Structure 1
């Protein structure tokens, strides 16, 4: 699957909902493709007290439920259609799921792609490699 198709799947998963007491969900959606070619989606959940779940983490949870761990390509999309690079927590999360995920293509704004290893140089856990 190409990055444009993956973007469209993520954009289609957006379903913004207001939750109880200032919370919201679904204003960011993610789609990821595994090395097997399977596609998984997820949405963000933001609630007060700094509790929440990024769309990337939600999509990864769906992937793990199906027994997969290697991500080929991943994209997160805001409700206005803009692409959001993964936050630092999500970058680390992707890397910790599978050793081969350092070769995951991250779709960035303007449909640029960059490998996760280039977003996470000087790995803190490299001494165990």
Structure 2
């Protein structure tokens, strides 16, 4: 049950372009993380220019205001799944939106079944509902 946060700079994309970005992320997660249908939890935040800062970590990247930062909280994916996610996302976003690889940052975090409640204050994984 991945939870995805997508951070972008405001007024750089139309609502349709933002939806396309989110749809690509979901499609790639379904493929590489084997996420089930209707397992879509995304938070998209647009930041004022200057409020989303990403330097290049000494790797020589040239960042622009087209920057996309994606944070995924999930459980149970191995390093191969994560590497497939990174490369497939970069490829699809470049092909379908023109996003430069220099402007894509992805971070994946792990959690456990006890860390989720999908409603009504119930830990559905722990209660056997999922």
| Same fold flag (TM > 0.5) | no
Larger helix percent: 1
Structure that is richer in strand per residue? 1
Which structure has the larger Rg?
Answer: 2
| TM-score in terms of structure 2 length | 0.31
Structure of greater relative contact order (alpha carbons < 8 Å, 6+ residues apart): 2
